[in-house]
Chain A
């Protein structure tokens, strides 16, 4: 995540330029009027799209279905399952026919090239940090009006943290199809051997450090936390990197408190050095019994792949109980010629994925864990608790550069033991350069 190729960094401004040159308009008929205004606001949206759907309905009843492409990064097995899911949808749909477009490598590079070349797929998977960027560049469509009338779309069924990530500037742009809250896995055998009480769902970072110390020593470590985004420590104490409106909150006393806790954890020596863990493979260190506790996605397959007894708990808290949510959503291209039919396909597809992927970002989809992943049965309540407190980032249009700045100016200095306040000031200075 933190290392991005030079290609992607170069491509983003190119895409912006290409979109600006093409004026974001004129590349389709139905949406053309809607995006003519500077904001492409909802005022023009419904009438334009209503006309589109009326045309689709009158001509589409007898004529063929609207063909829609959906771009996915799924590979090998996952792709086959996804294709089967889409085939089922196609069989029951009357007005659209989805076609899977597999992009097995350099996903965003290909996507950005296609968008700039006016060949954007109608539907696209996007990881959470890309949603504001694509929205602010005008590459993806606002969904509020498009999906509100569609059967099967229930905004209040989504976990709020997950749906928030699909929004930018108060408008909905993406329907999340997965929201994996980060949970704490533990090696129960190691706990029992060392006679240490098992983690509870409401424990604090201080208790976590104490427990970790008892499990560290002799080529073994108490915990491995490299998966946790640094922002999560600020959330733990009520802080944040940016608030919802894009104001910097990293230097608030709450955020600093969280970051100091992170430094305390690093200094306590309960976790292996990052380079060492990366070299050995993070998940693999837990699988091979080298670390006793591991924070990772609730859908990880440890239960099936390890020989010891696995336990699960909600990650520790500071003053606030919160955890990170790995979220991806599906968005609609702004250039799709039939936005209303595409919106219907988007809702149907998203609901179908909720029945396939664990953990679904909806309350009804959530209960399906018990049938689709029976090995997670023992932890359903923990995952539910985690889902309720899970959230994503307040993503910014230049999130990828911001992530890079956090990694260079904040995470690394804190891990090295530098002064937290100075690291925060350096990071903020970098933010101002990026956002300028």
Chain B
């Protein structure tokens, strides 16, 4: 008995040590970022590196807020992210529902076509798409970034949601049809509520993707007062020198919303990846 207990204890200790090492290595970059954001310029690259900052250098945060117009950038990022989030989640779900539930001529061909757009590297389509948007005068506005999403969503998310919808038993819909529900009603009242974990996952992925997107806003936005946070932060990375202190401080401020969203939605996030569907 005691032998077994000891064995269990030993196993637990080993397990916890391994887990602690794993989580430390995950959290370390974040802690390093926090520490660097408080360091003065000379100390950041000191050899050997210092774990703790040399006092709290709040001027990095002041610089991050004043040298770039942080609040404007934050607002711009938020507007684009929220609009992209709406299109990514709802429009993708709508399209995915179509692929999952309707039989129409060439359905598989269309679906393959949607999937094939995932395989195309963005660089290949960038210039033609840019030329297209420039012909209709959308350059230097957020239109090219948010409007296309409302006409079809995002292929990766369509694929994920279609697979999820396919796992919902048809019987649920059939009973709704008997009760007189139309397709739109089935989508809103049955499919969406049952897919909350998957929608949440997509929401988080979309939020994180849009919030951190550098290339899209870089290509389409010209005026500094329309820039987003990733563009603003890259101003600290000059050709000749990088201002690490303010860059880290700004990155932490930009990270706060992502962390908040993740903390709030973490439970659903894990559920969504399991894609457990419905039992019974």
Q: Which A positions have Cβ atoms within 8 angstroms of B? A: 6-7, 10-11, 14-15, 18, 69, 73-80, 100-106, 109-110, 112-114, 116-119, 127, 280-281, 284, 287-288, 290, 297, 305
Q: Output the nearest chain A residue to B217 by Cβ-Cβ distance.
A: A105
Specify which chain B residues have a CB less than 8 angstroms from the CB of A280 in the assembled complex. 45, 47
The total of Cβ contacts below 8 Å across the A-B interface reads: 95
**Is the CB of B219 closer than 8 A to any CB of chain A?**
yes
**Is the CB of B174 closer than 8 A to any CB of chain A?**
no
Q: Is the CB of A18 within 8 A of B234?
A: no
Q: Output the nearest chain A residue to B134 by Cβ-Cβ distance.
A: A117
Q: List residues 213-259 of chain B with CB under 8 A from any CB of chain A.
A: 214-215, 218-219, 222, 224, 227, 230-232, 234-240, 243, 246
Q: Is the CB of A116 within 8 A of B214?
A: no
**Is the CB of B110 closer than 8 A to any CB of chain A?**
no
What are 5 residue pairs bridging A and B, where the CB atoms are less than 8 Å apart in the complex? Answer: A14-B127, A104-B218, A105-B231, A118-B134, A280-B45
Measured CA separation A362–B237 after assembly (Å): 28
Q: Is the CB of B131 within 8 A of A18?
A: yes
**Is the CB of B119 closer than 8 A to any CB of chain A?**
no
Q: Is the CB of A76 within 8 A of B68?
A: yes
Specify which chain A residues have a CB less than 8 angstroms from the CB of B67 in the assembled complex. 76-77, 80
Q: Is the CB of B47 within 8 A of A76?
A: no
Q: Is the CB of A284 within 8 A of B47?
A: yes
**Which interface residue of B126, B215, B236 has the most chain A CB atoms within 10 A?**
B126
A300 to chain B, nearest CB (A): 8
Specify which chain B residues have a CB less than 8 angstroms from the CB of A73 in the assembled complex. 238-239
Q: Is the CB of B46 within 8 A of A113?
A: no
Specify which chain A residues have a CB less than 8 angstroms from the CB of B45 in the assembled complex. 280-281, 284, 287-288
Q: Output the nearest chain B residue to A14 by Cβ-Cβ distance.
A: B127
Q: Give which listed residue, A76, A290, A305, contacts B42 with CB less than 8 A.
A: A305
Q: Is the CB of B236 within 8 A of A75?
A: yes
Measured CA separation A74–B131 after assembly (Å): 26
Q: Output the nearest chain B residue to A305 by Cβ-Cβ distance.
A: B42
Q: Is the CB of B134 within 8 A of A78?
A: no
Specify which chain B residues have a CB less than 8 angstroms from the CB of A119 in the assembled complex. 134, 139
Q: Is the CB of A113 within 8 A of B47?
A: no
Q: Give which listed residue, A15, A75, A100, A127, contacts B234 with CB less than 8 A.
A: A75
Known contacts: A18-B127, A77-B67, A80-B67. The answer to whether A117 contacts B235 by CB under 8 A is: no
Q: Is the CB of A75 within 8 A of B237?
A: yes
Measured CA separation A390–B246 after assembly (Å): 35
Q: Output the nearest chain B residue to A7 by Cβ-Cβ distance.
A: B123
Specify which chain B residues have a CB less than 8 angstroms from the CB of A11 in the assembled complex. 123, 126-127
Q: Output the nearest chain A residue to B126 by Cβ-Cβ distance.
A: A113
**Is the CB of B124 closer than 8 A to any CB of chain A?**
yes
Q: Output the nearest chain A residue to B68 by Cβ-Cβ distance.
A: A76
Q: Is the CB of B238 within 8 A of A76?
A: yes
**Is the CB of B111 closer than 8 A to any CB of chain A?**
no
Q: Is the CB of A110 within 8 A of B219?
A: yes
Specify which chain A residues have a CB less than 8 angstroms from the CB of B16 in the assembled complex. none
Specify which chain A residues have a CB less than 8 angstroms from the CB of B246 in the assembled complex. 76
Q: Is the CB of A79 within 8 A of B235?
A: yes
B275 to chain A, nearest CB (A): 32
Q: Is the CB of A75 within 8 A of B235?
A: yes
Specify which chain A residues have a CB less than 8 angstroms from the CB of B237 in the assembled complex. 75, 104-105
Q: Output the nearest chain B residue to A290 by Cβ-Cβ distance.
A: B47
A263 to chain B, nearest CB (A): 28
**Is the CB of B130 closer than 8 A to any CB of chain A?**
yes
**Is the CB of B121 closer than 8 A to any CB of chain A?**
yes
Measured CA separation A331–B278 after assembly (Å): 63
Measured CA separation A116–B139 after assembly (Å): 13
Q: Is the CB of B139 within 8 A of A104?
A: no
B37-73 vs A, CB cutoff 8 Å, 1 = contact: the mask equals 0000110011100000000000000010001100000
Q: Output the nearest chain A residue to B238 by Cβ-Cβ distance.
A: A75
**Which interface residue of B46, B63, B224, B240 has the most chain A CB atoms within 10 A?**
B240
11 new A-B contacts at CB < 8 Å, known A76-B243, A280-B47 = A18-B131, A80-B67, A104-B231, A104-B234, A105-B218, A106-B214, A109-B218, A114-B130, A119-B139, A127-B239, A284-B47
Specify which chain A residues have a CB less than 8 angstroms from the CB of B215 in the assembled complex. 106, 109
Specify which chain B residues have a CB less than 8 angstroms from the CB of A281 in the assembled complex. 45
Known contacts: A80-B67, A117-B130, A117-B134. The answer to whether A105 contacts B234 by CB under 8 A is: yes
| 7 closest Cβ pairs, A-B complex | A75-B235, A105-B234, A117-B134, A284-B45, A104-B235, A104-B234, A10-B123
Q: Is the CB of A116 within 8 A of B127?
A: yes
Q: Output the nearest chain A residue to B247 by Cβ-Cβ distance.
A: A76
